[in-house]
Structure 1
């Protein structure tokens, strides 16, 4: 029996990231090859002409799973009855803009979208925030959607995980999916902590610790971390545009695992509402290793050993998140 279609929202739908993301969602790579979708596409009024072109292309792809496409600049129409949301649209950082200014601009967007979620979306909706500063935007969005569980909001650090996984795989000369359980702790910013100390690699059918295979502690505590932390800036410097294709792929990876569950014995990185696990700040959106069951509920992986080096890195990114939260709340007016 055919499944009922689900309503999926993508904001910033006329933008670069959405252009790649929508293809994968419509094709069935995220919610399943037999799951029909109704696409809700939200953007600001000046972008509606561009969005019309995106709709034309989606139609011209003749996707078998797409039942309806709803392009709109109206939040009520966009958020109505949705079951999954990719919140991609955000105010980009402009030259001369301080991070606090960026937070202030985005607070207004994500406060409004949080209220729209609260009022119009299904209470089971899964909300992934991609627009930067993603962790704090997700926190604000959740704050203004009090009728939706905090566990239904997350911010994307999967791009950082994919970057870290790829760096290790390239160094060990194995396919990227042979490397698992790389962790991104903390904020999706230059303070994030890419951690390979618990990572595993499949080498010719044998599972080994990445650290044992690399045997290069200096690399894992130095170049590996800074490469991942600065990768977004490196892409911009080379391409003169932000990393849209890899961000879209990561958003799809994140939502696919949230929707369908993680593989037994593996965990993925998601910025989720912190309960203070691993002695990091509570009441912020902090990236942890999580496992997800068939019920679409994530659980923070517990009991991982944290050494002094990791502790220092995890505390640093946690402090930044606390400061961002304070800055964002200071510009909120209830």
Structure 2
């Protein structure tokens, strides 16, 4: 068997981690032959709860799990890790503005960026789940200058999963038959869920979703709005933010990053923008990507119509504003 891979999960006593840790530890993310050592980071007041999580992981009797390291010390948490799930953050509560969330969380990601820079492996793959994820990932990368910016990503896979579930429900097909829906921009209500490139496999053939759903109003209004506002709808119903679905999406994101995307399939990831599709540079922007040998690549040459360009402009503008606000908070 391979050498154990060290993986850190922050906010490890929280709800998302409670679902995520089992998915990771049983081999669904890094492979069925990859032993793991889990580093679990949380704040001091959560250490008793975290001990209960450690007990449960032991009681799962998972063959790949070689050790579990619970800690409230970032040095211990980030030492020699090859993958980082940065889940821990103040969750968005009902009625909370994104700027309030940004102020609460941006300093956390500065500290974690510094710890990653000093103690993690230099090829560590970092996934930021804690919101506002795109800007948190940008700040984290800023304070880890010796780690490539390409190694810091934000999670928009949850939005892609939501989009594909909405399309599957509309078409009355299993969700596994739908792929290549794209999420552009920010993981916020300005994101652009785009069905233009989505396909459905049925009866042995691959068809474009927009050829089957010849209803522009549904595509540009009902579908778009339902995906954009799905997180808020979950909060309204549960009185808490998405946890189980966020954990599944984080696992999907990291699995594809480590093991590669399926040929012909594109996924959405928040990655450092190079200005592709006339988006702002040097923000973490969600693009359609493919992954080979652990390296993501933005899918180029997709046709983007006038409506789509306006949506990309709006979400890009929000990301620039968030970046400016975050840097003010950090420098204050």
TM-score after normalising by structure 2: 0.98
Following superposition, the deviation at residue 101 of structure 1 comes to 2.9
DSSP 3-state at the match of 2:262: coil
Partner of residue 298, structure 1: 296
What CA distance in whole angstroms lies between the structure 1 residues aligned with 2:295 and 2:120?
Answer: 18
Partner of residue 203, structure 1: 202
Partner of residue 328, structure 1: 326
Partner of residue 18, structure 2: 19
Partner of residue 306, structure 2: 308
Listed as ranges, the matches of 1:83-162 within 5 Å are 83-94=82-93, 97-162=96-161
Q: Where does the alignment leave 5 or more consecutive residues of structure 1 unmatched?
A: none
Cα deviation digits, residues 147-176 of structure 1 (max 9, x gap): 000000100000000000011011112111
What CA distance in whole angstroms lies between the structure 2 residues aligned with 1:173 and 1:96?
Answer: 34
What CA distance in whole angstroms lies between the structure 2 residues aligned with 1:20 and 1:97?
Answer: 25
Partner of residue 183, structure 1: 182
What CA distance in whole angstroms lies between the structure 1 residues aligned with 2:241 and 2:101?
Answer: 17
DSSP 3-state at the match of 2:331: coil
DSSP 3-state at the match of 2:88: coil
Q: Where does the alignment leave 5 or more consecutive residues of structure 2 unmatched?
A: none
Listed as ranges, the matches of 1:254-273 within 5 Å are 254-273=253-272
Q: Which deviates further from its counterpart, 36-45 or 232-241?
A: 232-241
Following superposition, the deviation at residue 91 of structure 1 comes to 1.8
Partner of residue 58, structure 1: 57
What CA distance in whole angstroms lies between the structure 1 residues aligned with 2:329 and 2:159?
Answer: 29
Cα deviation digits, residues 7-42 of structure 1 (max 9, x gap): 000000000000000000000000001100000000
Cα deviation digits, residues 117-165 of structure 1 (max 9, x gap): 0000000000000000000000000000000000001000000000000
Following superposition, the deviation at residue 95 of structure 1 comes to 6.1
Distance 1:104 1:285, change over 3 A: same
Following superposition, the deviation at residue 106 of structure 1 comes to 1.2
Partner of residue 236, structure 1: 235
DSSP 3-state at the match of 1:222: helix
Following superposition, the deviation at residue 332 of structure 1 comes to 1.4
Cα deviation digits, residues 52-86 of structure 1 (max 9, x gap): 00000000000000000000000000000000000
What CA distance in whole angstroms lies between the structure 1 residues aligned with 2:156 and 2:100?
Answer: 22
What CA distance in whole angstroms lies between the structure 1 residues aligned with 2:46 and 2:206?
Answer: 49
Partner of residue 77, structure 1: 76
